[in-house]
Structure 1
């Protein structure tokens, strides 16, 4: 599902560290409403792509645009404010805060009042706080977190913590969602639950997503298109059924097959 007016363009990007190419001329687009997956062996460059998208790394060459805004050289908080949200492979939550409080932190870009208004609890601050709280309650309901809403996150099962991390990203009201191994470390039941939430995000919230994931079953079931990377370069791009049988993809994952 490519789009004549994609929300994201990643064009001929090159990124190197001390001569080692982490990204070697990779290009792709992400359509509006598309679930685009990036797969590859460990060290292939997947996380480097996410770090370029979110402003953590600045590539040496290439262009990256998000809904017409040029991203290269922008700071992570600017990119987040434009509507790009990210989850992380390792849970990055405040363990002593409740689910509700962690999700409220995802609303920080929507705060439009100053510290004086907050301290005095003036009308503007009060109205904004109520609106942010209402949005967070919608996410709690959407991700079925009601029973844990007051619990400190550190006491929750790992699968629920991953769901809270997803919820915090959704609290930003993103226009593009980056999912970094959302089912890593989960059991079968937790993985199935997360897959259902990802589908709901696309179908009900209409948010395009870029998914980095090692679970090939999940990727092949959910993704519209897949980019395969290896040693920093693009190996193949296409629909899941196409890339799954691509000889270069098989070689990247299984290695060169030696004749008997």
Structure 2
């Protein structure tokens, strides 16, 4: 993807240590508006650590993270979310006893402005606000074709649908940057193809920047504009999917040697 303006996300010199273990070592990355960057690497390469730094769960010892010029380093996760960063999780983080729509409404929390009392009474501004947020959630439900499961408790959803609901809750946050942590983990081929189709629809309709962490190389190579390869927290290569597929270091480390 040709860069025509400053990137939405800029990471420079990101270094994260746990005692004597360096999880990330001087990682640099940019993500443009509307771009999908995939991060690949074996378990322990530092992929999830990058996400945890980006959304404020971890505080790196060195480096800077800026979103549209605003620093993210040192901000609490709620503050990062308020700036437009949303995340899905490899292990589902849905509230099992809440319905699908109620789970998606939780993604609107940081956009709500009414207080506890007016919300409890559900009158005036609180009523108007909830109606507007529910309308926004219904747009996400329609985009991800979740209508049949609208009132189903999350704990009763089929696995593939639950992963879609996890994506829907992140989209309900209206993110500028969407962090996708293994969105097809545990899915069969049909479910994986469905999720790929929904991600394409999300890009076309909502146009968020995305960072995708995924072990499914076919999905990565089909969807990504650029790919960043990590090994033990160190950047191995970055470039287009075609470049990464032909990079000898990446082939040796991730794609099976001479594969």
Common fold, TM-score beyond 0.5? yes
Q: C-alpha deviations, 1:64-122, integer Å up to 9, x for none?
A: 10111111110000000000000000000011111111111111011101112112222
The answer for the alignment partner of 1:129 in structure 2 is 130
The answer for the alignment partner of 1:139 in structure 2 is 140
Q: C-alpha deviations, 1:181-201, integer Å up to 9, x for none?
A: 000000111101100111111
Alignment of 1:1-260 (within 5 A): 1-3=1-3, 4-253=5-254
Tell me, yes or no, if the aligned pair for 1:2 and 1:30 is still in contact at 8 Å. Answer: no
Tell me, yes or no, if the aligned pair for 1:85 and 1:177 is still in contact at 8 Å. Answer: yes
The CA distance in 1 between the partners of 2:120 and 2:184, in whole Å, is 40
Q: CA 1:116–1:40 in 2, change beyond 3 Å: closer, same or farther?
A: same
Tell me, yes or no, if the aligned pair for 1:2 and 1:29 is still in contact at 8 Å. Answer: no
Q: C-alpha deviations, 1:128-167, integer Å up to 9, x for none?
A: 0100010011111110000011111111110000000000
The CA distance in 2 between the partners of 1:156 and 1:119, in whole Å, is 29
Unaligned ranges ≥5, structure 2: none
Q: How many residues align?
A: 257
Q: CA 1:254–1:226 in 2, change beyond 3 Å: closer, same or farther?
A: closer
The CA distance in 1 between the partners of 2:217 and 2:135, in whole Å, is 36
Over the residues paired in the alignment, what is the CA RMSD in angstroms? Answer: 1.2
The CA distance in 1 between the partners of 2:2 and 2:98, in whole Å, is 40
Tell me, yes or no, if the aligned pair for 1:177 and 1:209 is still in contact at 8 Å. Answer: yes
Q: C-alpha deviations, 1:231-258, integer Å up to 9, x for none?
A: 100000000010111011112226778x
Unaligned ranges ≥5, structure 1: none
The CA distance in 2 between the partners of 1:15 and 1:133, in whole Å, is 39
Stretch moving more, 55-64 or 215-224: 55-64
- What TM-score comes out, normalization by structure 1 length? 0.96
- What TM-score comes out, normalization by structure 2 length? 0.97
The CA distance in 1 between the partners of 2:217 and 2:189, in whole Å, is 13
